[in-house]
C-alpha cells in the first residue's frame, strides 16, 4: 500500500455541497472519512457518491449502545459497503463481539466484503489529567489505551483507533494483523485545536500505524490537494 492510500482525510463538513467541493479540489485523496456531522446531514447518499468516484470510505459514527442496538447499526453500515467503521471500546466486550459478528454475518448474507470494525480507545482530545480527574481512570493513558485495545482484539474486532503516542505499544501488544488507525495528526506548524495527544504524520507512521486520519490540516488549507500531498511527501521522506 502506497503512502497516499494510508492517509485518510476527515470530511468534517456541514453538507453535501461542501463535501463535493472539497473532494473535487483534492483528487489525490483516495480514502475519505465521513463522520457524525456530514452523515447526519447527508445520510447514505454521500457514501454512494464517494464510492462511485472509486474512493474508499471510513464511516466514523462511533457506535456506543447496548449490543442489540449496535449490532443493528453495524448491519446497516455493512450494507452501505464501507471499508471501515468505528465503535467505542468502552461499550464492553458483549457490545464489541456483537459488532464484529453483525458485520461478518451481514456481509456473508449479502456476499459482500465486511467492513473492518475499529474500537475507539481513548479519544485524542483527552489527556492524562482529564482521564484521571474527570473519568476517574487511574491507570494512565497508555495503560488504559492498551487495556481497551487488548479487549477489542480479544472480542474479534479488527483494529483500534488511538493517538500516535500509543501506536508502538498497541502494535507490540496486539500484533501485526491488528489495524491501527491514528488521528491526532499535526504537521509541523499547524495548531493543535481541541486535540491533546498529537504527533506529526512522519512520526505517526514511523511508530507503526496502518492509517493516519487528518482533518483540519487538509480541509481548512487554502489548497487542500497541496496540503494532502505535503503530508504524503513528509510520510515518504
Ligand X SMILES: O=C(O)c1cc(=O)[nH]c(=O)n1[C@@H]1O[C@H](COP(=O)(O)O)[C@@H](O)[C@H]1O
Residues placed in the known binding site for substrate: 12, 33, 60-69, 124, 186, 195, 215-216
> Which one-letter DSSP state was computed for residue 176?
T
Torsion of CA 60, 65, 68, 74, to 10 degrees: 0
Identify which range of 14-22, 88-96, 137-145, 212-220 contacts ligand X by CB under 6 A. Answer: 212-220
Quick one: which of 57, 213, 221, 231 contacts ligand X (CB under 6 A)? 213
Q: Which of 7, 32, 35, 57 binds ligand X (CB under 6 A)?
A: 35
Long-range contacts (CB closer than 8 Å, 24 or more residues apart) made by 222-230: 223/25, 224/9, 224/22, 224/25, 224/26, 225/25, 225/26, 225/27, 225/28, 225/29, 227/187, 228/7, 228/9, 228/26, 228/28, 228/29, 229/28, 230/187
Cell numbers for 23, please give them.
Answer: 473532494
d(C-alpha 144, C-alpha 165), whole Å:
13
Part in contact with ligand X (CB under 6 A); list of ranges 19-27, 92-100, 150-158, 213-221? 213-221
- Among 124, 155, 167, 200, interactor with ligand X by CB under 6 A: 124
Residue with Cβ nearer ligand X (121 or 155) = 121
Contacts of 62 (CB under 8 A, 6+ apart): 36, 86, 87, 88, 120
Q: Which of 6, 12, 102, 166 binds ligand X (CB under 6 A)?
A: 12
Active site residues: 62
**Shortest gap between Cβ of 64 and ligand X (angstroms)?**
12
Scan residues 134-173 and list those touching ligand X (CB under 6 A).
161
Q: Does 215 bind ligand X (CB under 6 A)?
A: yes
Residues interacting with ligand X, by CB under 6 A? 10, 12, 33, 35, 60, 86, 120, 123-124, 161, 183-184, 193, 195, 213-217
Amino acid at each position: 500500500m502506497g503512502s497516499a492510500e494510508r492517509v485518510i482525510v476527515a470530511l468534517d463538513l456541514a453538507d453535501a455541497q461542501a463535501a463535493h467541493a472539497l473532494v473535487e479540489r483534492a483528487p489525490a485523496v483516495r480514502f475519505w472519512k465521513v463522520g457524525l456531522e456530514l452523515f447526519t446531514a447527508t445520510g447514505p447518499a454521500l457514501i454512494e457518491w464517494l464510492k462511485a468516484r472509486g474512493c474508499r470510505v471510513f464511516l466514523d459514527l462511533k457506535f456506543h449502545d447496548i449490543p442489540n442496538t449496535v449490532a443493528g447499526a453495524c448491519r446497516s453500515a455493512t450494507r452501505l459497503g464501507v471499508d471501515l467503521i468505528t465503535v467505542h471500546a468502552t461499550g464492553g466486550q458483549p457490545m464489541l463481539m456483537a459488532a464484529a459478528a453483525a458485520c461478518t454475518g451481514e456481509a456473508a448474507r449479502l456476499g459482500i466484503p465486511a467492513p473492518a470494525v475499529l474500537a475507539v480507545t481513548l479519544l485524542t482530545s483527552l489527556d492524562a489529567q482529564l482521564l484521571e480527574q474527570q473519568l476517574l481512570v487511574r491507570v494512565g493513558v497508555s495503560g488504559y489505551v492498551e487495556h481497551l485495545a487488548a479487549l477489542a482484539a480479544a472480542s474479534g474486532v479488527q483494529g483500534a483507533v488511538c493517538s500516535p503516542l500509543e501506536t508502538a505499544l498497541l502494535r507490540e501488544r496486539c500484533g501485526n494483523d491488528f489495524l491501527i488507525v491514528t488521528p491526532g495528526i499535526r504537521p509541523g506548524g499547524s495548531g493543535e485545536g481541541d486535540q491533546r495527544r498529537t504527533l506529526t504524520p512522519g512520526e505517526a507512521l514511523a511508530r507503526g500505524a496502518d492509517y493516519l486520519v487528518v482533518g483540519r490540516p487538509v480541509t481548512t488549507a487554502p489548497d487542500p490537494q497541496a496540503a494532502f500531498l505535503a503530508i504524503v511527501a513528509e510520510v515518504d521522506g
